[in-house]
Amino acid sequence: MAYSTGEKPGNGTYICKVCGQKVVLDDNTDTLPPCPKCKKTLLHWVPPCTVVFFYH
Ligand SMILES: [Zn+2]
C-alpha cells in the first residue's frame, strides 16, 4: 500500500519511498506532507511494514 502527498491515510508512521525519511502522523485528520528531507512532492509514502526492501 502506498499513499500520495496530501492524502489522509490515518495516524501511523510512514516512510518516504525515495529517501527513507520517516514521518509520523498522530492524528487521523493529518495529511501526508511533502518529504522534509528530499522535498519531493509527488512521492509516495508507505507504511513501514511494506518497505523493508528499501533499506540497503
Ligand atoms: Zn524523501
Ligand 1 centroid – CA 7 distance (Å): 16
Give the distance (Å) from ligand 1 centre to CA of residue 44: 9
Query: What average pLDDT does range 41-52 have in this prediction?
Result: 64
C-alpha 28/C-alpha 49 separation (Å) is 19
Give 4-18 pLDDT, tens digit per residue: 888 898 888 888 888
Cα–ligand 1 centroid distance for 6 (angstroms): 15
Distance CA 46, CA 29 (A): 17
How far is ligand 1, taken at its centre, from the CA of residue 32, in Å?
12
Q: Is 3 helix (H, G, I), strand (E, B) or coil?
A: strand
Give pLDDT, residue 29: 94
The three-state secondary structure class of 27 is coil
pTM comes to 0.72
Count of structural domains within the chain: 1
CA of 34 to the centre of ligand 1 (A): 8
Query: Residues with Cβ < 8 Å from 28, sequence gap 6 or more?
Result: 8, 10, 11
